[in-house]
Structure 1
Amino acid sequence: MRNLYAILLVLMGCFAAPAFAQETEDATAEVTEEAIVQTSEVVLWEIQGTDATTVSAFKQGLREALAGEAGRHLLDDAAFAQFFSKASPEVPSCLMGLEPCPSAAGLAFEMAGLSLVIRVELKSTQLANYALIDGRGAEVRTKEITATGVRELAFALIADVFDATGSVSFNTRPEGATIEIDGEQVGTTPYVTRLSIGTHEYTLRLQKYQPMTGSIVVRSGLTEKVDHVFQEEAGYLLITEAPSGARVFVNGSYVGDAGQPIELEPGMYAIEVRAEGYETMRETAQIQPGLEMRKTAPLVATSGFLKDFGSGAIQVNKYQLKLGYEHGFQRLTFQDARGEAYEFESILDGEGTYPIFGANSARVSSNGVRLDLSYFFEYFGITVLSMSYRGSSPDVPVALLNESGETVEGNLSSVSRLQIRPFQLAYRHVYKNVMPIAEIGVGIDLQWIDVESVAALEPIALSQTDAFATIGFGAQYFFTPAFFGKFRYALQAYFEDTHETEHLLYLGVGLALPNLFGLEIEPPETL
């Protein structure tokens, strides 16, 4: 850079030699320091440093600091050569003897279109010396600059030399927020100001909203914008007078322990306070920005039988698989029982005589197992699979008819029953861990009976089928949200008069699952 500058001075000295003798004191008037730093003309930089990396980082910092004016700052030889080649300067009139010429240095500045040369010597990444060279070639200012890094050093030098500033605008929604810049309150939004180039810290505050703190880099000749949408300030929930170990749930999720302030966004919440051995308190709370909502929770101790697993803890397990013992009893005539070679005629009376066909009935008790698979919505449920298998040994004397129409006496030794209920609806009511339940549905009863007779070597097999409607009432007791026991009493009314109404007692256990084999359908909230 200095070699190029020297060559330019020699050339200008040769062209201007006759005119230099005519220089006057007025022609060499000094350019004041204030005039130099406020010029808008081209500035030539000569930068030296201990290593190329530091110099490169310093130049990059200058480009950032001079973002809006970088075009008129020549930071290296290549930029100067490109600028000079495009400038196409005219021959000064003083070289043609029309007026006195300034000094050689001044002439060189004029020919190059320069207003200022800045020489920078980088001592380290945090220390630099600079000198300002005016059109006479004289140093009008020298100074030492310090900063925390190379980039900051470049910003500090620009601010010191040019008293550089940039524009900053602050806008918020809602408006009216107070603005603090570098710890000093300066106004309210919307607000526009000018700041010295470099990094500035700011804070925006608005009552009932969360404050915003940030930093902004101000660059010369540019307008930086800060646009902020305030978020409402959080409120607090404090549960007092609760038993030791009480836990607080908000909208079904655990958020903390009672007695400790719980931070929440403003809004309406469903609050639950739970403690082992106590009934759960359920309330709603409206949280206001910046305010503390206090609620007392003197929970009531529960009995050992009733438990409170919390809102939705049971209902979330929508699939229920139940297995249990079932006992049934009713009176049957068996008049529709048929076999390959025999059909049922009658049950013998106490005197061993044959009454009118189907006039007698026998009381039959059966025992077995029952399996149910159900899906529950919040209150309603559908049983998608229900079947039971029961057996009995009535030991009742009966009469059969063979293919020849002859009566064959025998003894009803066993009755096996398979009952399938393809569709049932249920309604339940949730009270803590106990759920009363009502069920209705339809089904089909398949019966197989064996009659032992001296007329046949093997028991004579007969069968009959009938449909029925059922209604039942019972309760489920949940030991945990996923494991329960169930009791039910049901009536089954048959469509044929061969069966009287059947009474059923059921006692079993069940497992409640949130999904079955990884499958979870999306049902409506209610039927």
Structure 2
Amino acid sequence: MLRPGERCAFPTPQATSSPQLPCMRPEGRRAGRRWKAASRKSLRSRTSPLGRRAFIGVHLGRGPPVGSAAAPSPEDAMFVSCLLSVSLALSAGAAPGMPPDTQAPTPSHTLWLVQALYPGQDALLQRTEEGIAALIPQDVQAEQLIGRGALAMHLKGQGGDLRCVSGEARCREPLEAYLESLGLERVVLVQVGQDDAGYRFRAVSVRPGTGARGQAETANPAFEKALAGVLVKFLSLNATVVAETTPAGATVFIDGVKVGSTPFTTEVLPGEHTFRFELASHLPKEETRVMSSRQQVKLDATLEKVPARLVVKAQPEGAEIRVDGQPVGTTAVDQGIQPGTRRVSLTLDGYEPHEVTAEIAPGGTYTLEHALTPTSMQSFKLAMRRRKEATMARQSYLEASFEMQRLTGTSLASQPLSTSEELESLRTRDVRAPGSRNLRGVGVEYGRYGQFFGVMLVGATYASTGDTWTLGIDVPPGVGGVGPDGVSSLDTRVQAVSLRALQPQLRYVLGPVSFAIQVGLEGRGLLVKERAGDAAIFKDGLYALDLHASGQATARIFVYEGLYASVAYQHSFTLLKKIAGTSNIRGGLGYAF
């Protein structure tokens, strides 16, 4: 009650009209001190840290205390949100005070408040309230208050006990005691939103009388199923289904999920459900029912024994099976069928269709096993697929080849292996004849493949000239007997060796043919021997070393098992400018394993 000189900060309608009735909080310095002292005294008697934070936030107008020992959990935060929502609803509904010595009503109502889970989704609030009302069983609907409008109607003509809130009486939970005095047995806050998972519901329940709390969360693309999934945590909504069949032992499917066999008893959420019963040698039976909350339903299905049986097995896998033009399955079918004349057809893309006319006797079994014949194009595709799989299964190869090489330029800078000091700095300059500059030889190569990528591990080639090469010579100044007055060119025979390793490859397989591209570095060496015999100036010959960058394209055709024939083209470029680049054509045989 207001003392002289005080006024209400948060008045109820009665306090506004009469200063003798309770006030939610008196305003004034002395009154404010008495209000806070009474509130703190009440708070010290409370055992729940969460309730203490909620009470302070609601009644003293601020959030959790600064420097509190532990941050609130998500459950605590939702609980506080629930109490705040109730407080706002009570303020909007102008909950009146209760005159002194008035007996509080026995709590029997459940208050349902709905909030949007995400911003901008307020349109879901009314739909949720209507959905809650539709799901609540008839026998308890009179005890449910759904939404703030129902709360405002409930509060008309009722008084609430504010003695715990004002500090005149000591209570464990002041706000909860006030809610209980208004006849609210339980308060449930439901948050609704829509996101990528569909409709999402979160709910928290508070019982003012005991302080007991509960929470639940569900998500489902269907609004009704998501709402029922969260409400079932707080209300007994499940419908009871008793399924029996004649004969017994049928498999029971609910919404396409196998759940047991008859006789079978289970509970389902309210809403539409499809029940299916299957039993061998009997026709299946299906029934759709819309289940209400707490409804008890008995399903009694009589399954008809099939008069005949159809068994079909088709090859290859995936062949479609049709009976009288209607699809009944793929690859294999074993089901009941009405007797008489039936057209059974098997079809699959790339295969010749197969159709038979079946005379099915009552009580008999008709069996059809057939392998479809592929079309000519399909046969070619299947053969290519099998050869491709066999080719790609072989991951290592060893290959021997015959090679034709040609220098792409005339440069050949060789030097003597051993000679006099005067000729030590002598160098060959180029190949003057013949113009073709061809070499012939043999090579060997070993590598490994994955599905698309591989590596040539090691390879070597030996080649030599079949004709005489004339090499021009750079003669050092002052050397007699050679140069302008002596020898300025040499008639030689050339031998070449190349080594390569760890060259990456890219492979593509088409049936029995494998195409590969590889790149990498290789070392090249040439040994030059004069054809002058005993009159040779350089008895041990001349040599040249170089490093080349090369690229190669190869085609391999598998002829039997892992045996294949190959053809390749290679091109290289000199990096050290000692030996001209080469252009090679290679043919050989190899074995993959």
Higher relative contact order (CA 8 A, sep 6+): 1
Larger radius of gyration: 1
Q: TM-score, normalised by structure 2?
A: 0.36
Q: TM-score, normalised by structure 1?
A: 0.40
